[in-house]
Structures are given as structure tokens and as C-alpha cells.
Amino acid sequence: MKSKRQLPSPRFVLPLINWGFPTLRRHKARMSKVVTVRDLQKIARTRVPKAVYDYVEGGAHEEISLARTANAFLRVELQPNVLRDISNVDTSIEIFGKKTAMPVIFAPTGYTRMMHHTGEPAVAEVAERNNLVYCLSTMGTTAPDDLAAAVPGARRWYQFYLMKDRQASLGFIKRAKDTGFEVLMLTVDTPVSGVRARDIRNGLTVPPKIGLKTFLDMTTKPNWWMNLLTTAPLEFAAFRGYKEPLAQLAAKIYDPTLNFEDISWLRTVWDGPIIIKGVQSVSDAEKLADIGVHGIVLSNHGGRQLDRSVVPLELLPSSKAAISDTATQLFIDGGALSGSDIVGGIGLGADAVLVGRAYLYGIMAGGEAGV
């Protein structure tokens, strides 16, 4: 029997149409259509000056490590088993005796208030609301005590660099302990500062050397400028009160003499969990597990430190096998931009995955809502 033609009925057609009224709030409209982190990345590029975006997006030298780290996740293949009851899915895991909603940790990132004036507290607020972990960077633009006051209920970890002046380092450790930070994360892949070509070209060095082209580009982002000028000065907040010039301060932060004995010393001055971030070989992972650190982060600093360095995801299976008989938890950092990437990291042996650029795209695109 052939179907008969008829005039379209409005009651069938109208529900299919999802038109909205034109709005002058174009940014809000764009944010409402975000589906993936890549969508946030595209919006972020339009919301901040090029120099700021490049600071987040860029890597060391020719950015080979940066590209390899991201591309490694594209090669991950998921093989599902079917005919399983998945009506109740629990993504939560236990990290150091406490349950967190997902195996995702907000990685430490420097200068977060440069990306958006709400800065580190906005990221920690999201972590608190969703029962996730946020790690504050020593190079952050919010001090540890200020963050603790702003988000007292958030799970807060503290990332720091063991400075040449060990006595000064003790001051940072005490400050983190006194303000309720539960984990100390020591970054060990920066014996010297990385060479980031984009930042050098844009003048985002220590101290800054911003040229006319970069300055003029910044003036094309009036909202960013207004927020920058009407909020607290941009600074390395943990170093507030230090009198040295910024260049001398930076030279103090990175210590080329750092070695395994310092990790043993660190265990005598911090009684909570210790994580070592920046591990890039199986042998180093084994040594650290033998020392008894609570966690290891396989990381090449997001491709921002040593170009042509190892890809963390590729190092993951062998590292997991090497320390599987220990109590040390294994994390991975760099390149994850989706839930599928997180699944890939967990499937290859990570206990949790750190994300940095993903939430920085979010905060540049839309502040806390973007995160």
C-alpha cells in the first residue's frame, strides 16, 4: 500500500525546530553550544591576548614533545566488552584514603589569574563542588593561605620546587601544612628553566620583555585588560614579600643539585603523602618507590621543559609493571583532553590522570563556568 501525501502538520514540524532568538550576548551563546574541550579551546583563543594563549598552548623549543604527548592519546584503542550490566556506574576512586568522584586531578599551573581574573580559586571551587582534587602551584597567582580561606572544603594539594635555600623551602612546607594542604607534590623535572620559544617571542619571560606587537595585541582584548587592571596585581603570590628582583627569584627556585637524598630528607619534614612529579624513566620510578614516596607522576611538564623527552603515556605500562608490588600510586600528566583520554590512561595503568590545559582552556573561555 502506497503512503498518501499530505500537507505538513505544524504539530509535527514545530517540535523539530530548535531556533533561538538573536542575542547581543554572543559569548554566552557560544558557551551554551560547547560540547567538547576543543570547543572551549576555540573560544579561549578569542578571549585572551595571543601571548597569554600561547603561554598555555605552547611547549619547549620546536614543541616536538608537546605534539608527541598529545598524539599518543589518539593511538589509544578502546575494546568494549558487551552484554554487561552497566545500569549502575561508579567512577569514583580512592586516593590516599579518601574517595574522589573521578580519577581526574586538576594539575598545578602557574599564572592562572593571567588566563582569567578569577584564577586558582575558581578552579578549586569546581573541585570542591564536584569532589575532585585541586593542586595549587608554587608559581600560582593565589597564595596557599588565601586559597584555603576561599575554598576551605576543597581537597587541596600543594606543588612546590625544592629551592636552593632549604630553609626557605621549609617555610613553604610549613605554610602548606598550616593551611590544610593534604599532599605535597614536588616537581623534579626543572633543574633549569625550560626554553619556550613562543614566550620568548611574545616577551613573556622573567622579567617580562613585552614588545610593541604583543602590547598592541593585548589592547584588542578590552575585557581581559579591564579585569587585569581592576583586580589584585598579578604576582607569584607565594613569594609575596620577597625583595629580590624577579629574575633572581626565579634563579633561586630551580635547584640543579636536587637528588634522591633530598627526597629522603623531604620525608623527614612532611608527615603527609608525598608525590614526585616529572618522572620520565622506569628506573627513576623504581628508585622513588623503593624510597617510599606515596605517589609518582609520569610527566614531561606538558612538553614545556625538555623537547624530545619521553611521552608519559608510552612510559606508563612499563612503569606500572616495575612498581606494581609497592604501595606507591602512579599518576600521569600531559595531553588528556577528554573522558576517552582519561579511560586510556587508566587502562594503561594510571591510578588517576592530571589535567592542566583542559581546564585552562575552560577558564580562558568562560571563567569558573568554563572550568
β-bridge partners, 98: 95
* Known catalytic residue at 301: yes
**346, 353 Cβ separation under 8 angstroms:** yes
* Cα(156)–Cα(179) distance, integer angstroms: 10
* Cα(112)–Cα(58) distance, integer angstroms: 15
Phi and psi, residue 306, nearest 5°: -115, 115
Mode of pairing for the β-strands spanning 98-100 and 93-95: antiparallel
* Cα(203)–Cα(214) distance, integer angstroms: 8
- Annotated catalytic residue, options 116, 117, 294, 301: 301
Three-state DSSP state, 58: coil
* Cα(135)–Cα(155) distance, integer angstroms: 8
* Cα(171)–Cα(310) distance, integer angstroms: 33
Contacts of 115 (CB under 8 A, 6+ apart): 48, 52, 56, 360, 363, 364
Please report, to the nearest 10 degrees, the dihedral formed by the alpha carbons of residues 261, 263, 266, 268 taken in order.
Answer: -60
Q: How far is CA 25 from CA 28, 228, 371, in A?
A: 6, 22, 20
Quick one: how far is CA 238 from the chain centroid? 18
Residues in the chain: 371
Q: How far is CA 31 from CA 47, 51, 132, 364, in A?
A: 12, 22, 23, 12
Cis check for the bond before 108: say yes or no (omega within 30 of 0). no
Active site amino acids:
301
